[in-house]
């Protein structure tokens, strides 16, 4: 029996273990450091960039999964927690360094919370906005992961 390697199947089988911290190369300088994302630092071409800021400390962002989209999250300033869930396992990662980012693969539920005052979350995404790529209901997400 041939293995199913269609893109949709690949996203379904991603787990929280497939999400990881990637160190961003930096150039140290007494006048201030520079972090550089180019070439193959992240495993996808960036097609969309956005950032979250002025998020109240008691607010929760995210609360969804993507079918095909990869994301790379960086705490440019301050800190926040990223709660990952693959439908079976959970993982909590605190982002608080501008030279380290979190790669989130497709098929992973994510919630962002515990934003510190003045925090900024930069997001690099593999695709432009496409509403049909979102799974915004957790019960629907669990069904997606079991098909």
Which burial class, exposed, middle or buried, applies to 129 when counting CB atoms under 10 A from its CB (0-12, 13-18, 19+)?
Answer: exposed
Q: What is the pLDDT of residue 11?
A: 54
Q: What is the pLDDT of residues 35-60, one digit of tens each?
A: 999 999 999 999 999 999 999 999 99
pLDDT at residue 10 is higher than 80 = no
* pTM of the predicted protein model: 0.90
Q: What is the pLDDT of residues 87-124, one digit of tens each?
A: 999 999 999 999 999 999 999 999 999 999 999 999 99
Q: What is the pLDDT of residue 4?
A: 41
Contacts of 81 (CB under 8 A, 6+ apart): 92, 93, 94, 95, 112, 113, 114
Q: What is the pLDDT of residue 147?
A: 75
Q: For the chain, which domains are there?
A: 7-146 (2.60.120.10)
Q: What is the pLDDT of residue 13?
A: 86
Q: What is the pLDDT of residue 52?
A: 98
State the Cα–Cα distance between residues 118 and 50, nearest whole angstrom.
Answer: 16
Catalytic residues: 64
Residue 139 CA neighbour count, 13 Å, CB half: 0
């Amino acid at each position: 029996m041939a293995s199913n390697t269609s893109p949709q199947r690949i996203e379904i089988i991603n787990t929280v273990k497939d999400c990881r911290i990637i160190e961003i190369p930096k150039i140290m300088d007494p006048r201030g450091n520079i972090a550089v994302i180019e070439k193959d630092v992240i495993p996808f071409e960036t097609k969309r960039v956005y950032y979250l800021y002025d998020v109240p400390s008691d607010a929760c962002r995210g609360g969804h999964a993507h079918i095909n989209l990869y994301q790379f999250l960086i705490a440019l300033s301050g800190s926040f927690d990223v709660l990952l869930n693959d439908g079976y396992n959970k993982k909590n990662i605190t982002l608080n360094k501008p030279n380290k980012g979190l790669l989130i693969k497709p098929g992973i539920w994510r919630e962002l919370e515990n934003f510190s005052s003045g925090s900024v979350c930069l997001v690099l995404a593999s695709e432009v906005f496409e509403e049909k790529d979102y799974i915004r209901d957790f019960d629907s997400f669990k069904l997606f992961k079991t098909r």
